[in-house]
Structure 1
Amino acid sequence: MRRFFGKVRVRAAAGASLVVAVALVAAGTALLLVLKNNLVGQADLQAENAAREVATQIATGKPYEKLDLPDGDDRPVVVLAEDGRVLAAGDDVRAVDGTAVTERHPPAERQPDGAGSGDDDDDDREIKPGEVEDKARLSGGTATVGHRTADYRFATVEAKDTQGDKAVVRAGAPLAAEREAVGSVRTAMLIGLPCLLLVVAGVTWLVTRRALRPVEGIRREMAAITASTDLSRRVPEPGSRDEIDRLARTTNETLGALQESVERQRRFVADASHELRSPIASLRTQLEVGVAHPELLDAEGAVEDAVRLQNLAADLLLLARLDAGERPADTRIDLAALVREEVSQRVGDRIAVRVGDVEEGAGVEVAGSRSQVGRVLGNLLDNAQRHAAGAVRASVVRDGRWAVLRVEDDGPGVPPQERERIFERFVRLDDARSRDDGGAGLGLAIARDVAERHGGTLTVRDGSVFELRLPAA
């Protein structure tokens, strides 16, 4: 079990670390993309500004050889004619996109109107002399400045000088700062991510260990209870009002119910053994006497003891089936007909049973086991006849959604303090012991168990009125 909890902690730490790792990788990737896009956007803006500055100079008629071009490798600029000739370039610019910038040619003599190439017609309609193209074209590329080749973002802008000659200005902005920033962030993430994962795993391990500590206490106590079979022990309740605290309380409730069930079973076995001992001993004595002296054999007494044993065995079997959770059959039972049938079979009893108000029809029908409900009725009538002075009455009525069976007698009744105790197994009041020579104290216990299995109740009212309530079918 300890290995199990260890695995739980490992899985929790690994799971949390995996989730955090996925989240951090996703967030880091998004951060790098945003940072890179922002830096590239800044480089594009710088390149476009540099290109427009040079294009503006061309549009104002400044000679190409006198253009104010940026120096150094921060802003490589090259000015090209329409035919690809290099009109101007930065002092240190050696090549752009692998094309060498080796010659600088002045613009050709302007031809007379109408003598130019027809290809210029479309461009003349787009850009007029002295104007700069509104939209710059952005692209990536390489440039060699001095002896160093690097990546740049280029902005290309077209312009026309005052004479109408078109020039293409291409200015670049370095990407070294972007790459350095992205590389620094990537390095920081690669270093910080494992450290953060170690912290998350450690914290998760400690938190899980602390959270599972009460569970480990519950496990140890349950193992001790299992080893000692002492059901009176209880697992510790952390009192944290969380799932583990509810688990501990539920476990203790289960242990309490199990202890009560075991104790009840032990009492049942002890009481059953005690009740079986007397008729068995009596029957054995009579049989031994009959073997030794056949003329002294009390056959009627032996038969009575055998019947008593049979009835007791039947009661014990029914209780065992009820304790096992046997579900009653789902048949319709007419309580009025059941009462009349039971009373008609009681011929020669000490006190006759009088049938009181019995409502006819489906209003007093119930669903369940006919034999078990009949057993309840028989037990109630036996109990009433045992304690009645001279009258026993049975009645069936409908009370809302309940079918009510009442059995009452004119006996002294059950004292209020004993009205629940009489439904316990093998419980007989002193008066019952003095007047009953054969009862085992199981009749009323069986009756209540059957009533509860059928979704009803069995109670004592007014001392000597037993009321069975079952859901009407």
Structure 2
Amino acid sequence: MADRPSPFRARAAAARRRLAAAVRRLVAAVRRRAPGPTSRLAAAVHRLEPRSVRTRTTIAACLGVAAVLLVASAAVVLLLRANLVRSVEAGAREQALAVAGTAADGHLPGQLPLGHGTDFIQVTDADGKVVAASQNLAGHPALTTGDEDRDSFDLGVLGDEHHQRVATVTADTPNGPVTIRVGASLHTADTAEDLTTAGLAALSALLVATVGAVTWRATGRALRPVEAIRSEVAGIGDRGLDRRVPEPGSDDEIARLAHTMNAMLDRLEAAGVRQRRFIADASHELRSPLAVLRTQLEVAHTHPDPAVRAEMVAGALQDTDRLQSLAADLLLLARLDAAGHDGPRETLDLAELARTATAGRPRVALHARDGALVLGNRLWLGRLLTNLLDNAQRHARTGTTVRVATDPADGSVLLDVGNDGPPIAPADREKVFERFTRLDDARSRDDGGTGLGLSIARDIAALHGGTLTLVDGPGTTFRTTLPGAGTRPE
């Protein structure tokens, strides 16, 4: 009976198998992460790729000009060689025809004279026997044709190796047909081709170098303002928004870029000024009610009279309501300042919104016709109406008037909210829309205003593509102009 393996050996074998599997997984992971030849080549190419726009532009210009010159030079050389070879072939054929005419007349001499540019002449009969030849082929057998080119002959007998063009002509003679072969040298054509190629190569190299130098210099001059803009922008911090990038005197893309950058810096500076002013005004507005609230609570905490404590607590509750209202207005302003945050929109009847907003308010005269449709956010347009009504009632002597109408000229919707209170001076007509602004006759904090109502109303009107302005007339009237539902806001 065979021995059974011990538990220790079984566990050891299982451990070895798990270790081998772990090693295989580790090797596979390393192989997957190890860069292959393609990735290494791509990384090397990426490292060699020029980073500078100036360098890339110069290389691209040089390569483009080199490609054009290469094509043009090749075309010139090919045309030149074709014309020279055609001339050589024409001369060889002309001499072959002249020899054929002499042979046809029966006056073919045994030794033929060579013309200008002609290397050899050989005349053979129908049996391949040489009947006449030039002096350099006298006594030599008939030329043998190569296997690959019918115009290629074994000319080792001439003791010179150079390109040939052979013209072959057949003629009838009194002794039978003969074949006349005249070989013309291409030495002149080859020399002209070599000289032309060398000249074009030198000229092309000079042109490429010139283009590279001109492009490098021109690109450097063109990018110099960009570098100045970059260095200036790099030096602008959150405390240096008053700095501006230099604008070149030219009227090109870089000048427009510098102008756009300066306009953006103007907006950033204005936004920073508004933010700092808003923070300062908010801190000031919050400090006063908090100080009053703390004083009231401290007095109520230490005062022995219950009636006085109750009065102080009631005043503290009023200041708490004011703080809550101020915090809500600040939150709404933050939402209005968020770009593009205008909430869901729907088609609304502004006359219906005005009826809802004026319901339950005393001494409010409403003049509104149905059909004053606008595309907007119901909650925010309701807040606009509420703010205007609160402001109008706060400063009215006897009553407030609300009018909703449609302008027949452009289809816009007009909302007028006015009162019979003291008019606002022309110098203060824009000031009243600034945040935390109270005019001299309206500085009392007992009226419940936070100084943000008109600013919020104007921001809401602007988000809906409209305007909020003061109009001339008795008392004070604020006019909101909104695009009709059939028009799109700007």
Question: Does TM-score exceed 0.5, indicating one fold?
Answer: yes
Contact in 2 for aligned 1:339/1:377 (Cα 8 Å): yes
Query: Match for 2:189: what amino acid?
Result: E
Match runs of 1:265-304 below 5 Å: 265-293=275-303, 295=306, 296-297=308-309, 298-304=312-318
Query: Match for 1:90: what amino acid?
Result: S
In the other structure, the counterpart of 1:316 is 330
Match runs of 1:48-63 below 5 Å: 48-59=93-104, 61-63=105-107
Aligned mates of 1:184, 1:156 — CA distance in 2 = 30
Quick one: structure 1 residues 88 and 5, their matched pair in 2 at CA, closer, same or farther if it must change by over 3 Å? Answer: closer
Quick one: structure 1 residues 339 and 160, their matched pair in 2 at CA, closer, same or farther if it must change by over 3 Å? Answer: same
In the other structure, the counterpart of 1:83 is 127
Quick one: structure 1 residues 8 and 442, their matched pair in 2 at CA, closer, same or farther if it must change by over 3 Å? Answer: same
In the other structure, the counterpart of 1:328 is 343
Secondary structure of 2:244's match? coil
Contact in 2 for aligned 1:36/1:178 (Cα 8 Å): yes
In the other structure, the counterpart of 2:19 is none
In the other structure, the counterpart of 2:321 is 307
Aligned mates of 1:393, 1:208 — CA distance in 2 = 67
RMSD over aligned Cα atoms: 2.5
In the other structure, the counterpart of 1:460 is 470
Contact in 1 for aligned 2:342/2:377 (Cα 8 Å): no
* Structure 2 residue ranges without an equivalent (≥5): 1-48, 486-490
Contact in 1 for aligned 2:124/2:142 (Cα 8 Å): no
Aligned mates of 1:318, 1:270 — CA distance in 2 = 18
In the other structure, the counterpart of 1:409 is 419
Aligned mates of 2:214, 2:101 — CA distance in 1 = 62
Contact in 1 for aligned 2:143/2:153 (Cα 8 Å): no
Match runs of 1:9-24 below 5 Å: 9-24=54-69
Q: TM-score, normalised by structure 1?
A: 0.83
Aligned mates of 1:5, 1:238 — CA distance in 2 = 27
In the other structure, the counterpart of 2:386 is 378
1:441 to 438, 451, 454: 451
Query: Match for 1:219: what amino acid?
Result: R
Aligned mates of 1:471, 1:411 — CA distance in 2 = 29
Deviation at 1:41? 1.0
In the other structure, the counterpart of 1:354 is 365
In the other structure, the counterpart of 2:229 is 218
Quick one: structure 1 residues 247 and 72, their matched pair in 2 at CA, closer, same or farther if it must change by over 3 Å? Answer: closer
In the other structure, the counterpart of 1:344 is 359
Aligned mates of 1:313, 1:36 — CA distance in 2 = 91
Deviation at 1:260? 0.3
Aligned mates of 2:406, 2:448 — CA distance in 1 = 35
Aligned mates of 1:433, 1:388 — CA distance in 2 = 15
Aligned mates of 1:6, 1:245 — CA distance in 2 = 24
Aligned mates of 1:93, 1:444 — CA distance in 2 = 115
In the other structure, the counterpart of 2:109 is 65
Contact in 2 for aligned 1:407/1:467 (Cα 8 Å): yes
Q: Which shifted more, 295-304 or 11-20?
A: 295-304
- How high is the sequence identity, in percent, across the aligned residues? 45
2:219 to 208, 215, 221: 208
Deviation at 1:175? 0.6
Query: Match for 1:414: what amino acid?
Result: I
Structure having greater relative contact order (Cα 8 Å, sep ≥ 6): 1
Aligned mates of 2:423, 2:268 — CA distance in 1 = 35
Residues 401-451 of structure 1 show CA distances to partners (whole Å, capped at 9, x for unaligned) of 212211122223222232222212122221222586442321111001001
In the other structure, the counterpart of 1:248 is 258
Aligned mates of 1:239, 1:388 — CA distance in 2 = 56
Contact in 2 for aligned 1:93/1:143 (Cα 8 Å): no
